[in-house]
Amino acid sequence: MVKAVVAGAAGGIGQPLSLLLKLSPYVDELALYDVVNSPGVAADLSHISTTGPVKGYLAKDEAGLKGALTGADIVVIPAGIPRKPGMTRDDLFKINAGIVQNIIEGIAQYAPKAFILIISNPVNSTVPIAAEVLKKHNVFDPKRLFGVTTLDSVRADTFTAEVSSIKDPKSVHVPVVGGHSGETIVPLLSLTTPNVSIQGETRDKLVNRIQFGGDEVVKAKDGAGSATLSMAYAGFLFAEAVLKGAKGEAATAAAYIHLDGVTGGSEIKQKVGVDYFAVPVTFGPEGAVKAENILTKANEYEQQLLKVAIDGLKGNISKGVDFVANPPAN
Ligand SMILES: NC(=O)C1=CN([C@@H]2O[C@H](COP(=O)(O)OP(=O)(O)OC[C@H]3O[C@@H](n4cnc5c(N)ncnc54)[C@H](O)[C@@H]3O)[C@@H](O)[C@H]2O)C=CC1
Ligand SMILES: O=C([O-])CC(=O)C(=O)O
């Protein structure tokens, strides 16, 4: 029996993501947690004729976070505020850092073995925050904590198909590594399958579009938030990959992970010099069983992109670690 929890379930991502999880054969029970409206979303989804109960939990209720998390196998976290035009993901840190910290405190207490999937931005920093909180409670397992970067992969596949006139974007796979914001997102177009040849200005524009795809949506939504539906789809794909692996089925997807503690991770860490990096990960019953070092296969142009990404990630990671080590005065 697999119990999945969505924390931030009443939001723009949370609702469609909960819907997709309700439809998934890999999920037997759904708990929806939020500060508002989660019982309503749960009641709505519970009328869908797929098996498995759905229950809503509000932060202010007695059962609250504890009720939602107890017995959880997987917790997906899209709780927090989204960007408005003119903001960077890092501008969300001030509010979202504390929200993620609070939810992870609950996971450390009530579901320390759950797979944790963090969507809340800035992912480059919220994942280190989560790791530090889990470490404080002596329950940190790098194989079970993931920053969800799947939307970058989904965009890379879609946009690359567009410029290569490939009809079905699902038949394209572009490995995307690094982090999840602007220049920390590194698509390795030279390693695309099937092989595509995209050069010069077309390549530069494509890389830029993948790196700043989030801004495209923020701008188009014009103050009403950021990507929600494509993110719900991407988050669902990632959650299913983790759950397939847990069942012993073959599953691989890129994720932003703590490199120590995952097979192959220390080799990658030696190259990038930071603790966290998004790389292709293979999943198994214990979570991440292998991190694939594809960075050495990147071409010269991509090596330059990697350098810039690593520089950006350093600050994002230390900001997250520092937030837990030296909590800001209220
Ligand atoms: N990793 C990725 O690729 C992506 C990440 N995001 C991020 O996901 C987050 C959520 O985005 P949206 O769903 O559009 O925002 P939203 O504002 O529509 O929904 C967020 C939900 O979180 C809830 N929430 C706030 N504080 C909470 C708390 N302490 N505990 C539980 N729930 C709480 C809100 O009540 C709301 O229902 C944002 O930080 C956004 O930047 C968005 C798109 C892609
Ligand atoms: O752009 C944003 O703020 C939301 C996000 O992470 C994305 O769409 O990739």
Which regions of the chain carry the CATH code 3.40.50.720?
3-148
Judge if the beta carbon of residue 5 lies within 6 A of ligand 1: no
Ligand 1 atom index nearest CA of 10: 37
Q: Would the CA dihedral through 59, 61, 66, 70 be positive or negative?
A: negative
Active-site residue list: 180
Residues with CB under 6 A from ligand 2: 82-83, 89, 121, 151, 214, 217-218, 226-227
Judge if the beta carbon of residue 272 lies within 6 A of ligand 1: no
Only one residue has tokens 């819907």, namely: 19
Distant-in-sequence, close-in-space partners of 119: CB < 8 Å, separation ≥ 6: 8, 13, 76, 77, 78, 148, 231, 235
Q: Which CATH number fits domain 149-329: 3.90.110.10, 1.10.3720.10, 1.10.10.350, 3.40.50.2300?
A: 3.90.110.10
From 81, 84, 89, the mutation candidate for ligand 2 (largest count of ligand atoms within 8 A of CB) is 89
Look up the pTM and report it. Answer: 0.98
Beta bridge partners of 254: 280
Q: Would the CA dihedral through 232, 233, 235, 241 be positive or negative?
A: positive
Only one residue has tokens 């709505």, namely: 44
Ligand 2 atom index nearest CA of 151: 9
Judge if the beta carbon of residue 4 lies within 6 A of ligand 1: no
Tell me the H-state helices in the chain.
14-23, 38-46, 64-69, 93-110, 123-136, 150-164, 200-211, 213-221, 229-246, 265-272, 300-325
Please choose, from the candidates 144, 171, 177, the residue with its C-alpha nearest in 3D space to the C-alpha of residue 157: 171
CATH number for the domain running over 3-148: 3.40.50.720
Rounded CA-CA distance 227/221 in Å is: 9
ipTM reported for the complex, 2 dp: 0.99
Beta bridge partners of 258: 276
- Three-state SS at 290: strand
**250 — alpha (psi -120 to 50), left (phi > 0) or beta?**
beta
Q: Let me know: does 59 contact 65? Beta carbons within 8 Å.
A: yes
Which regions of the chain carry the CATH code 3.90.110.10?
149-329
One digit per residue, the tens of pLDDT, for the chain of length 330 reads 999 999 999 999 999 999 999 999 999 999 999 999 999 999 999 999 999 999 999 999 988 999 999 999 999 999 999 999 999 999 999 999 999 999 999 999 999 999 999 999 999 999 999 999 999 999 999 999 999 999 999 999 999 999 998 899 999 999 999 999 999 999 999 999 999 999 999 999 999 999 999 999 999 999 999 999 999 999 999 999 999 999 999 999 999 999 999 999 999 999 999 999 999 999 999 999 999 999 999 999 999 999 999 999 999 999 999 999 999 986
